[in-house]
Chains A and B, each alone.
Chain A
Amino acid sequence: MVGFPSSVHMTVDKEKVENILRSDDFGINQVRSVVEDHDLVVSKGEVEPMIDALLASEWTEEQFEDLIDHFEEIQLEKSPWGYYVGDISDYPNFTDSPVHTELKEQLNLNPAKREDGELLREGFELDTVTESEITGIYWTQTQTFRLNALRKLTSIERTYDMGFDIDLENDIILINTDNYGKLNEMLKELRDIGLKIDPVGHHDLLHEDSLEQIDAFVSELKAGLRKAKAQQPITKYTDGESPPLLDIDVVKIRLESALKRANLEGHQDIFEHDVVRELTQEEKGRIVHLKGEFEFEEEDFNFHVGYTEKLGRVRIQKKGQIKRDVEVVEEAFNFIYDFYEDYFINY
């Protein structure tokens, strides 16, 4: 058979196309750019006529693939990018094999089994294994009983996936999940195979020293952002007094018996805020979490940094319009992670 031209019209499932076009993340600007890509002209500027026009037109496989890529980009750009951070203090050492091989084998003793999207067995699913890095997903499932909306007992089965990235060069494990509770299950599994994970954060520092580390983190991050901005080409947007590049709005302070929040409400200096001062000086509290915003390469990001009893936490999320630039999110994360490493892990 002579090869088909790539733009042969195969049946593309219009329902899938519609689902993507109508999803929350796919805003009007994104729909508009798809309309332009398809060389369509829609007179009215509203979303509905644009979606109707797109669904009425012909779609090739290639165009569908492009739409999926577009949607993936949006997801990558808008989703939060963050990890729980653990400090690896010991690797399984039962054999003479190199570390990464032994670790891989230990993890494979507890493999996850999935078929057709269903989880048949909880466990580890490895993705990449190299001398310096092992990545994968830890799958678990929980079945719980609860009362449904009509007050009848029903069982709910939920599957959880947790991404992990073991950095064998720096002895760090990064875990991608939003479910802190389920995290403990995975940590226990890892402990059982000989991977010892120590908490990240200022647990072993004296109270004043921990505050110093936080202070240093904030000022160095500010200075780093300023330097990065100075290296940017001058844009049309020039200003006399620009808003600060780093803005912290909530600080969590751990006291002996409680975790307190302080809302900074626009104040620029954490340590000059009344509540923070009182909790850290008089009640000997430690700052364990910072939440705020920063500007990096002309984009704005929300961020969370801090630590819990077990692990550290770093997370950013891009704000503002979709610009189809996923790289800037990764760069911003690496930027802030470098400072996190210096002041929360390797202090």
Chain B
Amino acid sequence: MERDNQFEVQFLLSLMIVVLGVLASQQLSEFASIVVGGSFLLISSVHLLLISVHYSFNQVSKFEGSTIRGINRWSRRTLRLTTLAFLYMVFHILFSASNLTSIPAINWGPSVEQTIIAFGVPFLPVVLIYGAFRRKIRDTLRVSEDLSFTIVPEWLKVYHNPEETKPLRITVENSGEQTYDLDFEMTVPDPLLVKYDHEWQSGVIEESFELGPRSRKPLDFELKHESTTRKTILLKAQFTHGSDIHNETIECDLRL
């Protein structure tokens, strides 16, 4: 998924405004330690700095030097940190505000108790949430990190004569150590015809295949059409692995 810079910045600025608002508000500020609020603001500022540098350098040159790629990687980490810091702050306020100080079993003195509850305990839900998130999406992350899809070309001029039409190639690459069972489905709308596996077909093309570790599978298609008018239609290809789906669309310009 492409990173939506605009949304990210808006999202971040909104969070920062919330935090600033909380710190400024008299009722809430007694529950929010300035340290916690300040840390969040610091982390999110660093993140904003990284993504603005990345964005502006990207606009100037289409080259992705190693420095820029490094900044990109770091900005992903700071994004995660920012979100977690915000979560931490929310729980910090909740725990500070709640009356958990009246638990009799803990008997180290009010200030130490309060400190632990206000600052230590909020780490717990944050870690839990992060852990659950990682576990749930770990598999999806691995799939998305291991598998890559390349389509050449992404838009295509299609003629009545398949020899005049450039062939389409979709390549799936597995750079991981695991074997993946993939289901491939391509929807070919009338009047487009696709030749796959030596047969001209329209409608839905389906195939399931296994992609072993460190291997690739190229899928080759020839195209032609039988329309009598010019139009543009979309050819959809879908790869499914378990519950994970990856979609690709190819724009086909039917020419006469």
Give A266 to B230 CA distance when docked, in angstroms.
21
Measured between beta carbons, the chain B residues less than 8 angstroms from A242 are: 253
Cβ of A167 to closest chain B Cβ, rounded Å: 32
Cβ of A22 to closest chain B Cβ, rounded Å: 18
Give A236 to B228 CA distance when docked, in angstroms.
13
Contact flag A272-B160 (CB < 8 Å), given A265-B153, A266-B154, A320-B255: no
Chain A residues within CB distance 8 Å of chain B:
236-237, 239, 242-243, 249, 265-266, 272, 293, 300, 319-321, 323
Q: Is the CB of B159 within 8 A of A320?
A: yes
Q: Is the CB of B230 within 8 A of A237?
A: yes
Q: Does B31 contact A (CB under 8 A)?
A: no
- 23 contacting pairs across A/B (C-beta < 8 A): A237-B229, A237-B230, A242-B253, A243-B155, A243-B251, A243-B253, A249-B166, A265-B152, A265-B153, A266-B152, A266-B154, A266-B155, A272-B62, A300-B157, A300-B255, A319-B164, A319-B255, A320-B161, A320-B164, A320-B255, A321-B160, A321-B256, A323-B256
Chain B residues within CB distance 8 Å of chain A:
62, 152-155, 157, 159-161, 164, 166, 229-232, 251, 253, 255-256
Cβ of A299 to closest chain B Cβ, rounded Å: 9
Give A219 to B160 CA distance when docked, in angstroms.
30
Give A319 to B255 CA distance when docked, in angstroms.
9
Measured between beta carbons, the chain A residues less than 8 angstroms from B62 are: 272
Closest 7 CB pairs of A and B: A266-B153, A237-B230, A319-B164, A265-B152, A321-B256, A243-B253, A320-B159
Measured between beta carbons, the chain A residues less than 8 angstroms from B232 are: 239
Measured between beta carbons, the chain B residues less than 8 angstroms from A272 are: 62
Give A293 to B251 CA distance when docked, in angstroms.
17
Give A243 to B166 CA distance when docked, in angstroms.
14
Cβ of B255 to closest chain A Cβ, rounded Å: 6
Give A319 to B163 CA distance when docked, in angstroms.
10
Cβ of A250 to closest chain B Cβ, rounded Å: 12
Give A323 to B160 CA distance when docked, in angstroms.
13
Give A300 to B253 CA distance when docked, in angstroms.
12
Give A293 to B155 CA distance when docked, in angstroms.
14
Give A320 to B160 CA distance when docked, in angstroms.
7
Measured between beta carbons, the chain A residues less than 8 angstroms from B166 are: 249
Which B residue's beta carbon lies closest to that of A29?
Answer: B160
Which A residue's beta carbon lies closest to that of B166?
Answer: A249
Which B residue's beta carbon lies closest to that of A265?
Answer: B152
Measured between beta carbons, the chain B residues less than 8 angstroms from A249 are: 166
Cβ of B155 to closest chain A Cβ, rounded Å: 6
